[in-house]
Amino acid sequence: MSEQIIIRTDGNYDELNTYLENKGVKRIFLVCDSSIGFLGINSFFKSLENIYVTRFSDFEPNPLYESVVKGVDTFNNGKCDCIIVVGGGSAIDVAKCIKLYSPMDKSKNYLEQEIVPNDIPFIAVPTTAGTGSEATRFAVIYYRGEKQSVTDISCIPDAVLMDSSVLDTLPIYQRKATMLDALCHSVESFWSVNSNDESKKYSKKALEMIIGNMDSYLMNDKDGNTAMMEGAHLAGKAINITQTTAAHAMCYKLTSLYKIAHGHAAALCLPVLWEYMLSNIDKCIDSRGKEYLKTVFDDIAEVLGCDTPIKAVEKLKAIIKSLELPIPTANDKDFEILKTSVNPVRLKNNPVALDTDAIDEIYHKILNTK
């Protein structure tokens, strides 16, 4: 795959128009969520004279396989020659799957077919600074109630329009939650067993930008929005190499069980998981060894401006507390559900081994019960 093109703008779409002209695009398939109605880029698509636009919004926040099938049918029936997605992580996931599945045999389940790369131009316009999905080879959809992880390098968008003006109307809860998602991506990628020099470079820079611009971003400052969008993108590039770890694996059931945002749930998990790993570093499963892992934890703490990892954990907890995000109340039944909900595949990326008892212990600490 050629290097991803980044188009940076703040409400001016001339460069996007030039990109489309150079690609010879005639029929855009626009995947968009409800946020597009509040964004300046909506007028851009309405103003196009020589390019026909087919809009597709028939999907959910946790997108279903059936929605993707509808999207593939609509794309093919409209003879579209380009996919543009404007939205958050769910919209981007849907668009990725439509790109991957559009050339496939529609009489068979797409999830069961081999992915063959195609050259359909694919442009992402993220509307949050958080998921980093525009930089990754991963997508998540749900089939018969079960989460399906779709992975292929050919679903990474060819180009990304980074338009900080789309963050101007972002609700404050989503602003906080998506920022925390990017923060968790940065930290988890840093300590992942799959990390390398390139991923750690992305993680470090992302973490510096997120922490350094948090206040201005939360105040909806233009420069803060631009920096947070860049930081989230870098965090996405990091997890594209490493994948996420146990904090993300543990957050999914919190999201569905308590109806809280993904980034909110991940942030509740992250400092408690880190605290557990610091106390159980002898259970290190990173092939580079526990002394290496100690240096990684020290490095993350240093980027966070802390002398020790323990102080870094406390700083993360303080950040989350300052954002005034609620901590769900759990009962015994919830804990039984939670401790068996974690995907073991995700845990292979975590640098410290976790068994069911450890997961249960961490969930109890996350949810403030003994």
Tell me how many degrees the CA angle 351-237-269 measures, rounded to the nearest 5: 45
95 shares a domain with 225:
no
pLDDT of residue 1: 61
* Closest to 286 measured CA to CA, from 193, 221, 169, 157: 193
Q: Name the region of 239 (left: φ>0; alpha: ψ -120 to 50; beta: rest).
A: alpha
pLDDT of residue 369: 53
80 shares a domain with 15:
yes
Q: How far apart are CA 140 and CA 238, in angstroms?
A: 18
Structure tokens at 196: 């390398």
213 shares a domain with 113:
no
CATH code (residue 144): 3.40.50.1970
**Which of 136, 167, 198 lies at the terminal end of a domain, its last residue?**
167
Tens-place pLDDT, residues 163-207:
999 999 999 999 999 999 999 999 999 999 999 999 999 999 999
Q: How far apart are CA 314 and CA 267, in angstroms?
A: 13
Q: How far apart are CA 88 and CA 63, in angstroms?
A: 12
Number of domains, the chain: 2
157 shares a domain with 177:
no
310 shares a domain with 251:
yes
105 shares a domain with 11:
yes
pLDDT of residue 11: 80
Q: How far apart are CA 117 and CA 314, in angstroms?
A: 45
**Which of 144, 167, 190 lies at the terminal end of a domain, its last residue?**
167
315 shares a domain with 198:
yes
Which H or E run includes 47?
helix 41-47
235 shares a domain with 269:
yes
Q: What's phi and psi for 306, nearest 5 deg?
A: -120, 150
229 shares a domain with 150:
no
Tens-place pLDDT, residues 291-339:
999 999 999 999 999 999 999 999 999 999 999 999 999 999 999 999 9
133 shares a domain with 31:
yes
155 shares a domain with 216:
no
* Closest to 341 measured CA to CA, from 254, 245, 247: 254
Structure tokens at 347: 């845990």
Look up the domain containing 292 and give its range: 172-366
CATH code (residue 308): 1.20.1090.10
Q: How confident is the model at residue 370 (pLDDT cuts 50, 70, 90)?
A: very low
Tens-place pLDDT, residues 225-276:
999 999 999 999 999 999 999 999 999 899 989 999 999 999 999 999 999 9
**Which of 152, 167, 182 lies at the terminal end of a domain, its last residue?**
167
243 shares a domain with 124:
no
Q: How far apart are CA 165 and CA 279, in angstroms?
A: 43
